[in-house]
Amino acid sequence: MKHIQITLSVICILVVASQTVAQQEKGNSDKRLLVFHKTAGFYHKSIPAGIAAIKKLGLENGITVVASDDATVFDTENLAQYKAIVFLSTTGDVLNDPQQSAFQAYIQKGGGFAGIHAAADTEYDWPWYNQLVGAYFMSHPKPQKASVIIEDKSHPATRHLTSPWVRFDEWYNYKSIVPGLKILCKLDERSYEGGANGPDHPIAWYRNFDGGRAFYTGGGHTEEAFEEPEFLQHLLGGIRYAMNME
């Protein structure tokens, strides 16, 4: 009898411990971030630096960061544990039809999205993704310094910046630009060679879309970008917006 009582006590302790862990994991889900970096086209050498930088930002800001290039993570049950998903220089057709459906349902349930650089060079045959990311990559000149004009300093991704923000990167030209984007930054095409979007050349923006939040920045081509304090704060502000932490 004594042995049975001890065994029952141990079982009760294990059950309580299991419930506590589950509650903690559920409670932490509001601060979990998935960084997706699958490439089916060009591979950016800056991706590892980007992952490391976002993980460091996560440690400093109480955000649990999980990085993966495995598209099978895009199922409804798995995505539910994340507050937002970052597409870090993804390229090409990275999700199949069921994975696309799971991602779309995730956003519709209030999930967040943050696209970095080549996230705009992704899923050209998926109109819904065009609406989510805001524009598609069209072309780019050689990497060079350019002046970034801050259009909106009220957003957490830009409130720390002084206009013009002069920095070195690979500056995308865009096509299929979605009407109604809330533009955070524009490129001054007079400050560099190869711009093709004219005086209203967007380079960072945000919007509410299909039930969720979306942020995109065109920066992040180089490894050095992920060592720039101002660019990292820009990323953090965009991620926090996508996670609804502001």
- Alpha carbon distance 218, 236 (integer Å): 14
Domain boundaries, the chain: 32-139+174-179+204-242
pLDDT, residue 26, reads 41
- Alpha carbon distance 193, 45 (integer Å): 23
Say if pTM beats, i.e. exceeds, 0.75.
yes
Greatest CA separation for the chain: 86
CATH class of 32-139+174-179+204-242: alpha beta
**Could you tell me if 103 and 205 are in contact, meaning their C-beta atoms sit under 8 angstroms apart?**
no
* Phi, psi (rounded to 5 degrees) for 175: -130, 170
Q: Which is it for the CA torsion 161, 162, 165, 167, positive or negative?
A: negative
3-state SS record for 140-187: CCCCEEEEEEECCCCCCCCCCCCCCEEEEECCCEEECCCCCCEEEEEE
pLDDT, residue 159, reads 97
- Alpha carbon distance 62, 46 (integer Å): 24
Identity of residue 69: D
pLDDT, residue 25, reads 39
Ordered mean pLDDT values, 10 residues apiece, the chain (246 residues)? 44 38 46 98 98 98 98 98 98 98 98 98 98 98 98 98 98 98 98 98 98 98 98 98 93
CA 24, distance to chain mean position in Å, is 24
